[in-house]
Amino acid sequence: MVTPIIRIKDIAWIRLRSPDLDKAEEYLTTFGLVRAERSGDKLYMRGTDPSHHIHITEKGDPAVLRIAFWAQSLEDLHKLSREGDGASAVEDLDEPGGGKRVRIREHNGMELEVVWGVESAAPLQAEANAFNFGANKTARPGKLLRVEHRPSLVKRIGHVVISTPEIEKSVAWAQRHLGIVASDDVHMEDDPDTLLASFNRVDAGPDYVDHHVMMFGRHASSGMNHVSFEVQDFDDLATGHDTLMQKYPDLHLWGLGRHTLGAQVFDYWMDPWGRVHEHWTDTDVLNNSHEYRKHPKSTGLHSQWGPQAPQAFRDAASR
Ligand SMILES: [Fe+2]
């Protein structure tokens, strides 16, 4: 196993480019994000968690500009700048929230930014429902549950998935430069040596983290397969689904269902320019006592319930 240059703390944001910021904001608001700031040609959207922003749109031709990850320290940014292949200097982030970053291209040439010191914001209010089931049958004694018809309330950005023809090299690059570790891999049904997908998590030692922060899927072309956002709970996901379905029925891609690896309850939507955005709630959380496993495609990439992945989802690779 390679010694990583740094170990990222989490994913920070996605930076896209879109030709129409009004249209982008309308879509993202219906998706469940909240405007943090909008200047002439940039739109910053946030969730209810304290991150200043988790989604940036710059005005221009459609593109996936950068995927951002949190460094643990300023020293780590300097280390990545010194030791990362083709890394930029440590730069000031000249935008709302401030902070510093290092730009670097991953194995497929997609640009990443590793950031530190960006201001946080006060969390936004989000009511958590209690559920009267399982061992806690009276978690909501006498209280009536009523689900409002409204967009989801996105909490935070959760992970990104990269489509890549050279999956082994892509994973090796990310494990060395970002310090992520494999939770589960998926191989071709009858060929354990051909890797199809690799689910990697933040390495936080004994602390529990999401099953994956970055996943790679083998595909003929490279690009972003999807970017993923955690919502509050099941009702929040479902009412957000209904709200999006009313306004953008043609943009629904896949869901609702529950994945096997990671076990999230998921719902996938394209944005107006075809970039896939996921809602999910509930995930397996793992720490360094998790035993890495390899699965055949038929079990690893199977939905535990709900529909299986459509071809349009498997082919998503936005640049
Ligand atoms: Fe996902």
DSSP letter for each residue of 209-230: EES-SEEEEE-SS-EEEEEEEE
Please name which of 176, 265, 248 lies closest in space to residue 214, comparing C-alpha atoms: 176
Ligand 1 centroid to Cα of residue 228, in Å, is: 5
Q: Report how far residue 309's alpha carbon sits from residue 303's, in angstroms, rounded to the nearest whole number.
A: 8
Whether 107 shows a pLDDT value over 90: the answer reads yes
Q: What 3-state class would DSSP assign to 120?
A: strand
Q: What is the pLDDT of residue 6?
A: 98
Task: Examine the pLDDT at 2 and tell me if it is beyond 90.
Answer: no
Residue 191 CB coordination number (10 Å): 11
User: What gap in Å lies between CA 232 and CA 286, rounded to an integer?
Assistant: 20
Q: In the predicted model, is pLDDT for residue 91 greater than 90? A: yes
How far is it, in rounded angstroms, from Cα 46 to Cα 275? 18
Determine the Cα–Cα distance for residues 215 and 167; give it in Å rounded to an integer.
Answer: 10
Q: What is the pLDDT of residues 55-83, one digit of tens each?
A: 999 999 999 999 999 999 999 999 999 99
Residue that the structure tokens 């970055």 belong to: 214
d(Cα 49, Cα 152) in Å, to the nearest integer? 14
Closest alpha carbon to 51 in 125, 113, 118: 118
Residue 129's pLDDT band (cuts 50, 70, 90): confident
AA identity, residue 202: V
Domains of the chain: 10-120+152-314 (3.10.180.10)
Cα 10 to averaged position of ligand 1 atoms, centre (Å): 15
Please give the structure tokens belonging to residue 22: 């009004």
Q: Which residues contact 315 (CB under 8 A, 6 or more apart)?
A: 219
Kindly give, in sequence order, each residue whose CB lies less than 8 Å from that of residue 50, ignoring residues fewer than 6 positions away.
120, 121, 122, 123
Average confidence (pLDDT) over 193-216: 98
Percent of the chain with pLDDT over 90: 98
What pLDDT score was predicted for residue 162? 98
Both structure tokens of 98 = 């401030």
Question: Between vectors from CA 66 to CA 216 and to CA 101, what angle results, nearest 5°?
Answer: 115
Residue 309 CA to residue 135 CA, distance in Å, equals 33
Amino acid at 89: A
pLDDT at 257 over 90: yes
Ligand 1 centre and the CA of 137: distance in Å?
31
Residue in this structure with the two tokens 């922003």, named with its chain if needed? 53
Distance 265 CA to ligand 1 centre (A): 10
Q: How far is the CA of 306 from the centre of ligand 1 (A)?
A: 15
| For range 9-32, the mean pLDDT | 98
199 CA → ligand 1 middle, Å? 10
CA of 278 to the centre of ligand 1 (A): 6
Distances (CA, A) of 117 to 56, 98, 137: 17, 7, 43
230 CA distance to ligand 1 middle (Å): 10
Instruction: Please state, in angstroms and rounded to a whole number, the distance separating the CA atoms of residues 311 and 180.
Output: 28
